[in-house]
Copies of this chain bind each other. A is one copy, B any other.
Amino acid sequence: MLVRLEPDSSEPVARRVFRELRQAIVTMRFQPGQPLSEQEVAGQLGVSRQPVREAFIKLSESGLVTIRPQRGTFVVKISVKQVMDARFVREAVELAVIRRASEELSPGVIGSLRANLQAQREAAADQQHERFLALDEAFHRSIALGVECEYAWRVVEETKAQMDRVRYLSLPQATPLDRLIVQHERILDGIEARSPDNAEAAMRTHLREILKSLPELAQRFPDLFDSDAAATQPIRPA
């Protein structure tokens, strides 16, 4: 399941363990609900229990695992409510960012976003899903960092952790990439036209895309989802 970390003294071991585990969780290599043992993970990665423990703590801060004292650590199941809550916060923050961006994002950054969009089209044409996901993330990140919203982006990243698992789950028969690209285009158009309202509206539409696939996924993979009541209730957008 996990491969030994190669020795690399440049970065603290604990941090690498954290990244490794986080990646494994958001890409669904670790199934929701699965128990994680400090000892077992430490053994597989070839490190001691201590850094693994620290990584577990960080993961629990991110809401990706739950540590139940004296019992064990478990990958949290996907919670529809949690995903909705994360989406709500992400929308709030990214809308604020996009308004600022449409007022003061520099032409240079706008140009690089155009280039990114082109790369997205190529990745979509070649059916390179993984690459598209990376470009997608870079698109949003560049906008935020382009208007010096580093902290806002950090918050968005946190919320993304919850949403990315859903994203990966829907990868095979995903939302058509073309539609997402068009949405990205609209967002960029709004920025370039210096129209906060248009850009905000485009971003709002874009970020609500996940709501469409969520209920279906929750029904199709009931084992991976937490059985919170909201799962069967109608989805309210905001």
B-binding residues in A (CB < 8 A): 12, 54, 57-58, 61, 69, 82, 85-86, 88-89, 91-93, 95-97, 99-100, 149-152, 155, 158, 238
Contacts and interface: CB of A to CB of B under 8 A. Distances in A.
Contacts of A100: 238
Contact of A99 (B86, B158, B238): B238
| Copies of this chain in the oligomer | 2
Q: Is the interface of A mostly helix, strand, loop or mixed?
A: helix
Contacts of A152: 85, 88-89, 92
Given A57-B58, A58-B61, A91 B85 contact: no
Contacts of A151: 82, 85-86, 88-89
A155 B89 contact: yes
A150 B149 CA distance: 24
A153 to B, nearest CB: 10
Contact of A88 (B58, B88, B91, B149): B149
A96 B91 CA distance: 9
A133 to B, nearest CB: 23
A85 B54 contact: no
B88 A96 contact: yes
A193 to B, nearest CB: 19
Contacts of A150: 85
14 contacts: A85-B149, A85-B150, A85-B152, A86-B151, A89-B93, A89-B151, A89-B152, A91-B96, A92-B95, A92-B152, A93-B93, A95-B96, A155-B155, A155-B158
A96 B85 contact: no
Nearest to A103: B238
Contacts of A58: 57, 61
A7 B218 CA distance: 45
Contacts of A69: 12
Nearest to A238: B100
A150 B54 CA distance: 25
A149 B87 CA distance: 11
A236 to B, nearest CB: 9
Nearest to A91: B96
